[in-house]
Amino acid sequence: MEDRKRKIWIMQYLLVLSIGCFVSQLCASSDDDVKFYESFDEEFEGRWIVSQKSDYTGVWKHEKSEGHDDCGLLVSEKARKYAIVKELDEPAILKDGTVVLQYEVRLQNGLECGGAYIKYLRPQDAGWTTKEFDNESPYTIMFGPDKCGATNKVHFILKHKNPKTGKYIEHHLKFPPSVPLDKLTHVYTAILKPDNELRILVDGEEKKKANFLSEDDFEPPLIPAKTIPDPDDKKPEDWDERAKIPDPEATKPEDWDEDAPMEIEDEEAVKPEGWLDDEPDEIDDPEATKPVDWDDEEDGEWEAPKIENPKCSEAPGCGEWKRPMKTNPSYRGKWKPPLIENPNYKGIWKPQLIGNPKYFELDKPNFEPIAAIGIEIWTMQDGILFDSILIASSEKAAESYRETAWKPKFEVEKEKQKDEESTDSVMLKGIQKVVFEYLYKVANLLFLGEHKDKVLDLLEKAEKQPNLTIGIIISIIVVFFSVLLKLIFGGKKPAKVSVEAKKTEVVETSNSNNPENSEAKDDQNEDAAGAPRKRNTRRDN
């Protein structure tokens, strides 16, 4: 029995020891999976080289992320070009196995127009130096957010060498994901798989999957077309591309009158009884007076504003009567021969196809090694913070850094954002309450009777239905101003007014003859006199 227990204990010990060794190997392999990592916990000066090119005047700073003790590389000024580069101790090889490119960026002041992407640079023997790093420095991959105008995308651009021509071509990922536009820290991940698969993750969530060799996923495709239109092929002179042609045997009918007008006078129309031939449609406002401060030399000859002729509203019409127009039954327009099938039609001409001299076959992309990491951007925003730049050979390593370096920060920022939104909502409701209190007071002051009830009803709806608030308030404000103008100008309009409004003015004017209203009458007359004033106009002789 004792021997049996001893054997079981030994087996358990060996099992635990084996598991421990396996775990330790995993941990060791996890460290080996990390090819490059920059946390910016320490000052970047001396390790990262700022470009000395004259165009790049933006100042980089080592700053804490807002609300955290964690530091990053900060874009500190608006409307500047920035360029900074860090050489890797050993180039990262992309041809074998999985490669993960990942980094964090926080748009602390938002992003209206600018980039926040990273360039993964080729070795310097491709023709660049750290101190001269600029937008022409050759890179293998460009990856990350970019937004300006219609552009809003997480770039992924591969520069791939055509083995036939020796030229490097930019291949852009089609339909990339859009950039989160809040002010939180986001982590961007590009996973390059050995089976030619590309996956783009934002905050650990897959947003795009593509295949490097698919013509549907990159523009232009990595593999050129086998055939191309012959650039030397020319369309023959006798090539007829017209599917239909005018019938050459057709003739214009004898009764076809091309000069007949589209409309003619209605000869059957008669002038209505009571038509006032000698009355104009508009007359000078008889109550308008020339302003006291009108200067004929400076302002020109004063003209009274026009109003609708009240006599015309009681008659069928005023002025010279003319017969109305009607559609001309004889109108046929310009004659054109009908179209027939073209017997000589040969279709739309296209040049013949020839073999593409740039075509090549490819099993997998010929990635150039990554020798340095560069940030070369132009941006109108400051406050862009880069952090936790990682190159790894396993997805687990990238996931581990997301969980430990990014996620805690993101959760804190997200909670703070919720609190701020809640506070803003409370403040907005408080402001809204004050605004509606004043609107109710103004409505009670300006409106009477049925109009008052309607306005109060609208205000209640606006208060209860936030989605309608803005539209309703604008409508009410328009009504408020209309009423205020009516109060100020006594119901008069400086230009055309209806006869009914004119009659109302006459009644109001007669009532204002009361001595108690003399001061109000003077104010109204002054307004009426000033209203029709025209600058730099003269009466026609």
386 is in which domain, residue-wise? 35-229+363-416
Q: What is the mean pLDDT of residues 60-77?
A: 94
Tokens matching residue 32 = 């080996």
Tell me what pLDDT residue 474 has: 72
Nearest to 20 by CA among 12, 50, 106, 531: 12
Q: Which of 180-194, 414-428, 526-540 has the lowest mean pLDDT?
A: 526-540
CB 340 within 8 A of CB 247: yes
Q: Is residue 11 part of a domain?
A: no
| Local confidence band at 162 (pLDDT 50, 70, 90 cut-offs) | very high
Tell me what pLDDT residue 471 has: 66
More confident residue, 467 or 81: 81
Q: How far is residue 297's CA from residue 386's CA, in Å, rounded to a whole number?
A: 69
CB 275 within 8 A of CB 321: yes
Tokens matching residue 369 = 């090694």
Q: Is residue 246 part of a domain?
A: no
Distances (CA, A) of 363 to 93, 219, 223, 228, 453: 17, 18, 10, 22, 77
Tokens matching residue 403 = 């969980």
| Local confidence band at 418 (pLDDT 50, 70, 90 cut-offs) | confident
Domains held by the chain: number: 1
Q: Is residue 191 part of a domain?
A: yes
Asked if pLDDT for residue 506 goes beyond 90, the answer is no
DSSP 402: I
pLDDT in tens, 8-43: 444 443 443 333 433 333 344 456 899 999 999 999
Q: Is residue 45 part of a domain?
A: yes
Continuous segment of H or E residues that includes residue 468: helix 466-489
Q: How far is residue 51's CA from residue 119's CA, in Å, rounded to a whole number?
A: 14
Q: What percent of the chain has pLDDT over 90?
A: 65
Q: Is residue 462 part of a domain?
A: no
Residue 208 belongs to a domain with what CATH number? 2.60.120.200
Nearest to 403 by CA among 23, 30, 22: 30
Place of tokens 């703070």: 416
More confident residue, 362 or 20: 362
pLDDT in tens, 90-115: 999 998 899 999 999 999 999 989 99
Alpha helices by DSSP H, 234-315 = 296-299, 310-314
Q: Is residue 182 part of a domain?
A: yes
| Local confidence band at 480 (pLDDT 50, 70, 90 cut-offs) | low
Nearest to 394 by CA among 28, 30, 26: 30
Q: Is residue 378 part of a domain?
A: yes
**What secondary structure does DSSP assign to 406-431, as a single string?**
IHHHHHHHHHHHHHHHHHHHHHHHHH
Q: Is residue 514 part of a domain?
A: no
CB 72 within 8 A of CB 386: yes
Tell me what pLDDT residue 513 has: 45
Tell me what pLDDT residue 428 has: 58
Asked if pLDDT for residue 279 goes beyond 60, the answer is yes
Q: What is the mean pLDDT of residues 387-397?
A: 97
Provide the 10 A C-beta neighbour count for residue 247: 12
Tell me what pLDDT residue 485 has: 63
